[in-house]
């Protein structure tokens, strides 16, 4: 894949990782922010798709992937991740960009869009809004940090399928292995391990988000172009939440994907077309 790998230092001294696709002189940069248990590898397909036209960055939040774990697990919350992203943007001298946020990454994106006046040109939210469906939140808190270990890649693929099959029905065995390799990484003995600090589960169950009312954050997006991608089977972004988002922002773009729950994989043909149209509007204006 056409990407390079880099690290930068957070405001509190952690070494944090990101991938970069494309080149600096391409169209407006796009920064991809992952879900609570996920990492930069989830964006392989969409980043490859956009890389011939844009500089695409995908981060590992602290405690995930190749980023260092935080010894104080109470720092695992959206406010900290937003500060980490600002540090990255300042380090790379990126002053205007698009954000693509999946789940937790979407919450972080809303913080950044509301606070970085004029710096965020547009926002793509992948199955997340300013409110989280109660059933989905309960489901995620129940398993995060509590998934039993596996012994090999076949077990890792089966475990990934067990967790996500309701959200992504009909995937091939080959695709389940690809998904496993995005969420697991081999240890020194060659055994796949979940690529996440287990303490993130403790934080998810006990630490406040550090956010004000997220609906107040959403008000800050009224002047920012927004694409919302919703899985029709999602228990995180419900129809009612989308309706209330549209009430507050009638000009939002909305795509509802059949046979997808939480979140979209971002390789679905309808999803790629919607993202191309949305991103293309910024190319045309530059």
Beta-carbon contacts of residue 250 (< 8 Å; ≥ 6 apart): none
Structure tokens at 230: 């919703």
Beta-carbon contacts of residue 259 (< 8 Å; ≥ 6 apart): 169, 170, 232, 233
pLDDT at 151: 98
* Domain residue extents for the chain: 3-134+211-285
Structure tokens at 185: 């990484």
- pLDDT tens, 4-56? 999 999 999 999 999 999 977 778 999 999 999 999 999 999 999 999 999 99
DSSP 149: P
pLDDT at 208: 62
Single pTM value for the model: 0.96
What is the C-alpha to C-alpha distance for residues 40 and 210, in angstroms, rounded to an integer? 23
Fold exhibited by the domain 3-134+211-285: Rossmann fold (3.40.50)
pLDDT at 25: 74
DSSP of 43-70: GHHHHHHHTTTEEEEEEE-TTBTTSPPP
- Three-state DSSP class for 76? coil
Half-sphere exposure for 87 (CA within 13 Å, toward CB): 21
What is the C-alpha to C-alpha distance for residues 104 and 122, in angstroms, rounded to an integer? 17
Residue with tokens 């070494």: 15
pLDDT at 80: 95
Checking 162-170 for CB contacts under 8 A at 24+ apart, the result is 166/233, 166/261, 167/231, 167/233, 167/234, 167/260, 167/261, 167/262, 167/263, 168/260, 168/261, 168/265, 169/233, 169/259, 170/259
Cis peptide, bond prior to residue 263, ω within 30 of zero: yes
Name the β-bridge partners of 228: 125, 254
Do residues 214 and 130 make contact, with C-beta atoms less than 8 angstroms apart?
yes
Do residues 140 and 103 make contact, with C-beta atoms less than 8 angstroms apart?
no
Q: Name residues of the chain where pLDDT drops below 70.
A: 1, 208-212, 284-286
């Amino acid at each position: 894949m056409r990407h390079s790998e880099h690290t930068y230092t957070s405001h509190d001294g952690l070494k944090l990782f990101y991938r970069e696709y494309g080149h600096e002189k391409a169209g407006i940069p796009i920064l991809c922010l992952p879900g609570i248990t996920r990492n930069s590898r989830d964006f392989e397909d969409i980043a490859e798709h956009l890389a011939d036209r844009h500089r695409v960055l995908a981060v590992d939040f602290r405690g995930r992937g190749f980023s260092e774990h935080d010894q104080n697990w109470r720092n695992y919350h959206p406010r900290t991740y937003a500060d980490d992203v600002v540090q990255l943007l300042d380090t790379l001298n990126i002053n205007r960009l698009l954000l693509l946020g999946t789940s937790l990454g979407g919450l972080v994106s809303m913080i950044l869009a509301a606070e970085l006046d004029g710096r965020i040109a547009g926002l793509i939210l992948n199955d997340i809004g300013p409110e989280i469906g109660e059933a989905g939140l309960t489901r995620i808190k129940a398993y995060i940090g509590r998934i039993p270990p596996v012994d090999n890649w076949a077990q890792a693929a089966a475990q990934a399928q067990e967790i996500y099959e309701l959200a992504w029905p009909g995937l091939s065995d080959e695709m389940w292995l690809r998904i496993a390799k995005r969420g697991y990484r081999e240890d020194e003995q060659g055994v796949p391990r979940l690529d996440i600090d287990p303490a993130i589960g403790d934080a998810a169950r006990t630490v406040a988000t550090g956010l004000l009312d997220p609906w107040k954050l959403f008000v800050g997006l009224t002047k920012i172009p927004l694409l919302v991608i919703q899985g029709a089977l999602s228990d995180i972004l419900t129809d009612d939440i989308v309706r209330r988002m549209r009430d507050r922002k009638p000009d939002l773009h909305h795509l509802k994907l059949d046979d997808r729950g939480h979140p979209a994989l971002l390789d679905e043909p309808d999803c790629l077309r919607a993202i191309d149209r949305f991103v293309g509007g910024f190319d045309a204006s530059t």
